[in-house]
Structure 1
Protein backbone atom coordinates (compact mmCIF):
# COMPACT_ATOMS: atom_id res chain seq x y z
CA UNK A 1 0.00 0.00 0.00
CA UNK A 2 1.12 3.54 -0.77
CA UNK A 3 -0.30 6.52 1.08
CA UNK A 4 -0.35 10.19 0.28
CA UNK A 5 0.18 12.25 3.43
CA UNK A 6 0.67 15.82 4.56
CA UNK A 7 3.27 16.41 7.26
CA UNK A 8 3.08 19.03 9.97
CA UNK A 9 5.14 22.14 10.47
CA UNK A 10 7.83 21.69 13.15
CA UNK A 11 5.75 23.54 15.76
CA UNK A 12 2.59 21.52 15.04
CA UNK A 13 4.57 18.28 15.00
CA UNK A 14 6.10 19.16 18.38
CA UNK A 15 2.64 19.87 19.84
CA UNK A 16 1.27 16.53 18.61
CA UNK A 17 4.33 14.64 19.87
CA UNK A 18 3.90 16.35 23.26
CA UNK A 19 0.31 15.03 23.36
CA UNK A 20 1.64 11.55 22.51
CA UNK A 21 4.03 11.83 25.46
CA UNK A 22 1.33 13.06 27.87
CA UNK A 23 -0.90 10.12 26.92
CA UNK A 24 1.96 7.66 27.46
CA UNK A 25 2.85 9.26 30.82
CA UNK A 26 -0.79 8.79 31.90
CA UNK A 27 -0.59 5.08 31.06
CA UNK A 28 -2.83 5.40 28.00
CA UNK A 29 -2.18 4.04 24.51
CA UNK A 30 -0.09 6.45 22.47
CA UNK A 31 1.90 6.68 19.27
CA UNK A 32 4.85 7.79 21.41
CA UNK A 33 5.76 4.12 21.72
CA UNK A 34 6.15 3.67 17.96
CA UNK A 35 9.84 4.35 17.43
CA UNK A 36 10.00 3.51 13.72
CA UNK A 37 11.73 6.39 11.90
CA UNK A 38 8.71 6.91 9.63
CA UNK A 39 6.34 7.53 12.57
CA UNK A 40 5.48 11.19 12.67
CA UNK A 41 2.28 13.23 12.91
CA UNK A 42 0.54 13.47 9.55
CA UNK A 43 -2.77 13.67 7.70
CA UNK A 44 -3.49 10.85 5.24
CA UNK A 45 -5.22 12.02 2.06
CA UNK A 46 -5.32 8.74 0.13
CA UNK A 47 -4.17 5.13 0.12
CA UNK A 48 -3.81 2.89 -2.91
CA UNK A 49 -2.05 -0.37 -3.68
CA UNK A 50 0.37 1.37 -6.05
CA UNK A 51 0.79 4.69 -7.84
CA UNK A 52 0.15 4.95 -11.57
CA UNK A 53 3.08 6.16 -13.70
CA UNK A 54 3.93 9.82 -13.11
CA UNK A 55 1.70 10.18 -10.05
CA UNK A 56 4.49 11.03 -7.59
CA UNK A 57 5.70 13.91 -9.79
CA UNK A 58 2.15 15.20 -10.28
CA UNK A 59 1.48 15.04 -6.53
CA UNK A 60 4.74 16.88 -5.82
CA UNK A 61 3.76 19.65 -8.25
CA UNK A 62 0.30 19.86 -6.68
CA UNK A 63 1.73 20.19 -3.18
CA UNK A 64 4.21 22.84 -4.34
CA UNK A 65 1.24 24.97 -5.45
CA UNK A 66 -0.82 24.78 -2.25
CA UNK A 67 1.50 24.24 0.72
CA UNK A 68 1.81 25.44 3.40
CA UNK A 69 -1.81 24.90 4.36
CA UNK A 70 -3.10 26.21 7.72
CA UNK A 71 -4.92 23.76 9.97
CA UNK A 72 -6.59 23.62 13.38
CA UNK A 73 -6.85 20.27 15.16
CA UNK A 74 -10.19 20.01 16.95
CA UNK A 75 -12.52 17.59 18.68
CA UNK A 76 -10.56 14.78 20.32
CA UNK A 77 -12.44 11.56 19.57
CA UNK A 78 -12.19 7.81 19.24
CA UNK A 79 -13.08 6.65 15.73
CA UNK A 80 -15.15 3.66 16.76
CA UNK A 81 -15.37 1.55 19.89
CA UNK A 82 -11.73 0.42 19.96
CA UNK A 83 -9.96 2.39 17.28
CA UNK A 84 -7.67 5.38 16.80
CA UNK A 85 -7.76 8.32 19.19
CA UNK A 86 -7.56 11.38 16.95
CA UNK A 87 -7.80 15.12 16.77
CA UNK A 88 -10.27 15.75 13.96
CA UNK A 89 -9.81 18.41 11.32
CA UNK A 90 -12.74 20.35 9.94
CA UNK A 91 -11.63 20.68 6.34
CA UNK A 92 -11.82 24.13 4.86
CA UNK A 93 -12.34 24.60 1.09
CA UNK A 94 -8.57 24.56 0.42
CA UNK A 95 -8.06 21.20 2.12
CA UNK A 96 -11.18 19.75 0.50
CA UNK A 97 -9.97 20.88 -2.93
CA UNK A 98 -6.51 19.43 -2.31
CA UNK A 99 -8.03 16.11 -1.23
CA UNK A 100 -10.14 15.97 -4.41
CA UNK A 101 -7.12 16.85 -6.55
CA UNK A 102 -5.04 14.06 -4.98
CA UNK A 103 -7.79 11.57 -5.76
CA UNK A 104 -7.93 12.84 -9.33
CA UNK A 105 -4.17 12.23 -9.70
CA UNK A 106 -4.70 8.71 -8.33
CA UNK A 107 -7.85 8.00 -10.39
CA UNK A 108 -6.08 5.24 -12.37
CA UNK A 109 -4.22 3.75 -9.40
CA UNK A 110 -4.64 0.11 -8.48
CA UNK A 111 -6.42 -0.79 -5.26
CA UNK A 112 -8.08 2.35 -3.91
CA UNK A 113 -8.57 2.09 -0.16
CA UNK A 114 -12.04 3.57 0.33
CA UNK A 115 -11.74 4.93 3.87
CA UNK A 116 -9.87 7.96 2.47
CA UNK A 117 -12.11 8.47 -0.57
CA UNK A 118 -14.09 11.67 -1.09
CA UNK A 119 -17.33 11.40 0.81
CA UNK A 120 -15.95 8.91 3.37
CA UNK A 121 -12.74 10.66 4.42
CA UNK A 122 -12.60 11.83 8.04
CA UNK A 123 -9.51 14.05 8.18
CA UNK A 124 -7.57 13.68 11.41
CA UNK A 125 -4.18 13.42 13.08
CA UNK A 126 -3.81 10.24 15.13
CA UNK A 127 -2.69 10.24 18.74
CA UNK A 128 -3.09 6.53 19.54
CA UNK A 129 -4.21 3.27 17.96
CA UNK A 130 -6.55 0.69 19.52
CA UNK A 131 -7.97 3.22 21.94
CA UNK A 132 -11.10 2.50 23.98
CA UNK A 133 -14.05 4.88 24.17
CA UNK A 134 -14.02 4.27 27.93
CA UNK A 135 -10.67 6.09 28.17
CA UNK A 136 -11.74 9.12 26.10
CA UNK A 137 -12.62 11.28 29.12
CA UNK A 138 -9.21 10.68 30.67
CA UNK A 139 -7.54 11.44 27.33
CA UNK A 140 -9.41 14.76 27.14
CA UNK A 141 -8.19 15.61 30.64
CA UNK A 142 -4.62 14.71 29.69
CA UNK A 143 -4.35 16.42 26.27
CA UNK A 144 -7.43 18.64 25.98
CA UNK A 145 -10.39 18.30 23.67
CA UNK A 146 -9.16 20.82 21.13
CA UNK A 147 -5.74 20.51 19.60
CA UNK A 148 -3.20 23.02 18.42
CA UNK A 149 -3.23 25.13 15.28
CA UNK A 150 -0.43 25.07 12.75
CA UNK A 151 0.11 24.11 9.15
CA UNK A 152 0.88 21.26 6.83
CA UNK A 153 4.12 22.07 5.06
CA UNK A 154 5.09 19.07 2.94
CA UNK A 155 3.80 15.92 1.32
CA UNK A 156 5.13 12.40 1.49
CA UNK A 157 4.24 8.86 0.54
CA UNK A 158 4.58 5.88 2.83
CA UNK A 159 5.19 2.45 1.29
CA UNK A 160 3.87 -0.25 3.63
CA UNK A 161 5.77 -3.01 1.83
CA UNK A 162 9.25 -1.73 2.61
CA UNK A 163 8.17 0.70 5.37
CA UNK A 164 9.83 3.64 3.65
CA UNK A 165 8.88 7.27 3.20
CA UNK A 166 9.48 9.32 0.08
CA UNK A 167 9.01 13.10 0.03
CA UNK A 168 6.50 14.40 -2.50
CA UNK A 169 7.56 18.04 -2.13
Structure 2
Protein backbone atom coordinates (compact mmCIF):
# COMPACT_ATOMS: atom_id res chain seq x y z
CA UNK A 1 0.00 0.00 0.00
CA UNK A 2 1.51 3.33 -1.10
CA UNK A 3 0.44 6.20 1.10
CA UNK A 4 0.91 9.95 0.90
CA UNK A 5 0.27 12.72 3.41
CA UNK A 6 -1.28 15.54 1.40
CA UNK A 7 -2.76 18.97 1.78
CA UNK A 8 -6.00 19.42 -0.16
CA UNK A 9 -7.17 22.73 -1.52
CA UNK A 10 -10.25 24.83 -0.98
CA UNK A 11 -12.93 24.79 -3.71
CA UNK A 12 -11.55 27.76 -5.61
CA UNK A 13 -8.01 26.42 -5.78
CA UNK A 14 -9.22 22.90 -6.60
CA UNK A 15 -11.31 24.29 -9.47
CA UNK A 16 -8.42 26.35 -10.88
CA UNK A 17 -6.02 23.39 -10.90
CA UNK A 18 -8.66 21.10 -12.43
CA UNK A 19 -9.28 23.69 -15.17
CA UNK A 20 -5.57 23.61 -15.97
CA UNK A 21 -5.69 19.79 -16.11
CA UNK A 22 -8.73 19.94 -18.42
CA UNK A 23 -7.03 22.41 -20.81
CA UNK A 24 -4.00 20.16 -21.05
CA UNK A 25 -6.05 16.98 -21.49
CA UNK A 26 -7.90 18.68 -24.37
CA UNK A 27 -4.48 19.17 -26.00
CA UNK A 28 -3.50 15.52 -25.56
CA UNK A 29 -1.35 15.88 -22.43
CA UNK A 30 -1.98 13.32 -19.69
CA UNK A 31 -2.68 14.86 -16.27
CA UNK A 32 -3.85 13.59 -12.91
CA UNK A 33 -7.38 13.98 -14.26
CA UNK A 34 -6.99 10.69 -16.14
CA UNK A 35 -3.94 9.15 -14.45
CA UNK A 36 -4.34 5.63 -13.00
CA UNK A 37 -7.63 5.40 -11.07
CA UNK A 38 -8.86 8.87 -12.13
CA UNK A 39 -9.81 9.86 -8.57
CA UNK A 40 -6.95 12.27 -7.98
CA UNK A 41 -7.44 15.59 -6.25
CA UNK A 42 -5.22 18.62 -6.72
CA UNK A 43 -2.87 18.44 -3.75
CA UNK A 44 0.45 19.35 -2.21
CA UNK A 45 2.23 16.31 -0.76
CA UNK A 46 4.08 16.63 2.53
CA UNK A 47 5.30 13.03 2.38
CA UNK A 48 5.13 9.86 0.31
CA UNK A 49 5.67 6.73 2.35
CA UNK A 50 7.29 3.47 1.36
CA UNK A 51 5.42 1.53 4.03
CA UNK A 52 2.67 1.77 6.62
CA UNK A 53 -1.06 1.65 6.96
CA UNK A 54 -3.49 4.58 7.19
CA UNK A 55 -4.29 4.07 10.87
CA UNK A 56 -0.65 4.05 12.01
CA UNK A 57 0.14 7.08 9.84
CA UNK A 58 -2.82 9.02 11.23
CA UNK A 59 -1.87 8.00 14.78
CA UNK A 60 1.66 9.32 14.21
CA UNK A 61 0.36 12.66 12.88
CA UNK A 62 -2.65 13.32 15.13
CA UNK A 63 -0.49 14.67 18.00
CA UNK A 64 0.91 17.41 15.74
CA UNK A 65 -0.57 20.84 16.26
CA UNK A 66 -3.22 22.01 13.85
CA UNK A 67 -1.43 24.84 12.07
CA UNK A 68 -4.50 25.88 10.14
CA UNK A 69 -4.71 26.61 6.44
CA UNK A 70 -1.59 26.72 4.29
CA UNK A 71 -0.90 29.39 1.67
CA UNK A 72 1.64 28.85 -1.08
CA UNK A 73 1.99 30.50 -4.48
CA UNK A 74 2.73 28.73 -7.73
CA UNK A 75 5.47 30.81 -9.35
CA UNK A 76 6.55 28.61 -12.24
CA UNK A 77 6.99 25.09 -13.57
CA UNK A 78 9.25 22.31 -12.45
CA UNK A 79 10.04 19.32 -14.66
CA UNK A 80 10.80 16.03 -12.94
CA UNK A 81 12.07 12.79 -14.49
CA UNK A 82 9.81 10.71 -16.75
CA UNK A 83 7.78 13.65 -18.05
CA UNK A 84 6.30 14.81 -14.78
CA UNK A 85 5.59 18.54 -14.82
CA UNK A 86 4.25 20.46 -11.84
CA UNK A 87 3.45 23.90 -10.54
CA UNK A 88 6.56 25.05 -8.65
CA UNK A 89 5.42 26.56 -5.37
CA UNK A 90 7.02 29.22 -3.24
CA UNK A 91 6.36 28.11 0.32
CA UNK A 92 6.78 30.30 3.40
CA UNK A 93 9.33 29.07 5.92
CA UNK A 94 6.58 27.92 8.30
CA UNK A 95 5.23 25.55 5.63
CA UNK A 96 8.69 24.00 5.25
CA UNK A 97 8.90 23.62 9.04
CA UNK A 98 5.46 21.99 9.08
CA UNK A 99 6.52 19.51 6.39
CA UNK A 100 9.66 18.70 8.39
CA UNK A 101 7.53 18.07 11.52
CA UNK A 102 5.36 15.64 9.56
CA UNK A 103 8.48 13.80 8.36
CA UNK A 104 9.93 13.71 11.90
CA UNK A 105 6.67 12.29 13.30
CA UNK A 106 6.58 9.63 10.60
CA UNK A 107 10.22 8.69 11.21
CA UNK A 108 9.55 8.50 14.96
CA UNK A 109 6.75 6.04 14.18
CA UNK A 110 9.19 3.91 12.19
CA UNK A 111 7.84 4.84 8.75
CA UNK A 112 10.12 4.95 5.72
CA UNK A 113 9.65 7.80 3.24
CA UNK A 114 10.51 8.26 -0.40
CA UNK A 115 13.88 10.04 -0.46
CA UNK A 116 12.50 13.15 -2.22
CA UNK A 117 10.36 13.98 0.83
CA UNK A 118 13.21 13.98 3.31
CA UNK A 119 14.10 17.37 4.83
CA UNK A 120 16.27 19.40 2.50
CA UNK A 121 15.10 17.45 -0.56
CA UNK A 122 11.40 18.33 -0.60
CA UNK A 123 10.29 20.50 -3.50
CA UNK A 124 6.81 21.95 -2.87
CA UNK A 125 4.82 21.29 -6.04
CA UNK A 126 1.37 20.54 -7.41
CA UNK A 127 1.36 17.87 -10.10
CA UNK A 128 0.08 18.89 -13.52
CA UNK A 129 1.31 16.50 -16.24
CA UNK A 130 2.05 12.88 -15.42
CA UNK A 131 4.00 11.65 -18.45
CA UNK A 132 4.58 14.47 -20.93
CA UNK A 133 6.78 13.54 -23.84
CA UNK A 134 9.59 15.94 -24.77
CA UNK A 135 7.59 17.90 -27.36
CA UNK A 136 4.69 18.36 -24.91
CA UNK A 137 6.81 19.95 -22.16
CA UNK A 138 6.80 23.43 -23.79
CA UNK A 139 3.01 23.17 -24.14
CA UNK A 140 2.63 22.34 -20.44
CA UNK A 141 5.05 25.08 -19.37
CA UNK A 142 3.14 27.57 -21.53
CA UNK A 143 -0.20 26.56 -20.03
CA UNK A 144 1.24 26.91 -16.54
CA UNK A 145 2.72 30.31 -17.37
CA UNK A 146 -0.71 31.51 -18.46
CA UNK A 147 -2.07 31.09 -14.90
CA UNK A 148 0.89 32.44 -12.92
CA UNK A 149 1.27 33.60 -10.28
CA UNK A 150 -1.35 31.33 -8.77
CA UNK A 151 -2.12 31.60 -5.04
CA UNK A 152 -3.01 28.20 -3.58
CA UNK A 153 -5.01 27.75 -0.38
CA UNK A 154 -4.91 24.35 1.35
CA UNK A 155 -7.47 23.98 4.09
CA UNK A 156 -7.36 20.30 5.05
CA UNK A 157 -4.98 17.34 5.23
CA UNK A 158 -5.46 13.67 4.41
CA UNK A 159 -3.67 10.37 4.11
CA UNK A 160 -4.21 9.03 0.60
CA UNK A 161 -3.73 5.52 -0.72
CA UNK A 162 -2.13 6.50 -4.00
CA UNK A 163 -3.09 3.34 -5.86
CA UNK A 164 -6.83 3.71 -5.27
CA UNK A 165 -7.44 7.33 -4.27
CA UNK A 166 -9.02 6.31 -0.97
CA UNK A 167 -8.58 9.07 1.64
CA UNK A 168 -8.52 9.28 5.41
CA UNK A 169 -8.80 12.81 6.86
CA UNK A 170 -6.37 14.05 9.47
CA UNK A 171 -7.68 15.78 12.59
CA UNK A 172 -6.05 19.07 11.58
CA UNK A 173 -3.60 20.55 9.13
CA UNK A 174 -0.11 19.78 10.40
Instruction: Give the shorter-chain TM-score range.
Output: 0.7 to 0.9
Alignment match, 1:153: 155
Unaligned runs of 5+ in 2: none
Give secondary structure in 2 for the equivalent of 1:131. Answer: coil
Cα separation, 2, equivalents of 1:35 and 1:113: 20
CA contact (8 A) 1:52 1:109 kept: no
Structural mapping, 1:114-129, within 5 Å: 114-129=115-130
CA contact (8 A) 1:85 1:131 kept: yes
Alignment match, 1:166: 168
Alignment match, 2:103: 103
Cα RMSD after superposing both structures: 2.4
Alignment match, 1:22: 23
Cα separation, 1, equivalents of 2:113 and 2:137: 31
Alignment match, 1:138: 139
Unaligned runs of 5+ in 1: none
Give TM-score scaled by structure 2 length. Answer: 0.83
Cα separation, 2, equivalents of 1:41 and 1:113: 20
Classify 1:133/1:37 alpha carbon distance in 2 versus 1 (closer, same or farther; 3 Å).
Answer: closer
Give secondary structure in 2 for the equivalent of 1:154. Answer: strand
Classify 1:136/1:87 alpha carbon distance in 2 versus 1 (closer, same or farther; 3 Å).
Answer: same
Classify 1:11/1:4 alpha carbon distance in 2 versus 1 (closer, same or farther; 3 Å).
Answer: same
CA contact (8 A) 1:26 1:142 kept: no
Give TM-score scaled by structure 1 length. Answer: 0.85
Q: How much has 1:112 moved relative to structure 2? A: 2.2
